[in-house]
Homo-oligomer: A and B are copies of this chain.
Amino acid sequence: MFAHTPEPPYYAVIFTSQRTAGDEGYAETADRMVELAAQQPGFLGVESVRGADGLGITVSYWSSEEAIAAWKVHAEHSMARDQGRSRWYAGFEVRVAKVERAYGMRR
């Protein structure tokens, strides 16, 4: 699903991750985190894909750095992040970026 973001500038958090084997409660928590993120101030949208090899890219969009910082320390999100580090991910990379321009096409 495409995120319906406003005109730039806004922020993107690019989260690239490699899942470990087995679900271990991952899917339920991942769904919950999307639901919870969508309720946070400054949330603009999210796009998320995981391939058959377990590599995934999730990009969430935010109105400001402050909104990103507040979500990072959200209590339930922090607990999920701890589980991500200890159980669900073999590795991940987070990149915080300022979207400067955007364009697209829909049929």
A residues in contact (CB < 8 Å) with B:
1-3, 5, 8, 12, 14, 16, 18, 47-52, 55-57, 59, 85, 89-107
Stoichiometry (number of copies): 2
Chain B residues within 8 Å of A90, by CB? 106-107
The residue that A107 contacts in the complex, of B3, B91, B94, B96, with Cβ under 8 A, is: B91
B14 close to A2 (CB less than 8 A): no
B96 close to A99 (CB less than 8 A): yes
Chain B residues within 8 Å of A57, by CB? 47-49, 57, 59
A16 close to B59 (CB less than 8 A): yes
* Nearest CB of chain B from residue A93's CB, rounded to whole Å: 4
Answer whether A95 and B16 are a contact pair too, CB < 8 Å, given A50-B51, A90-B107.
no
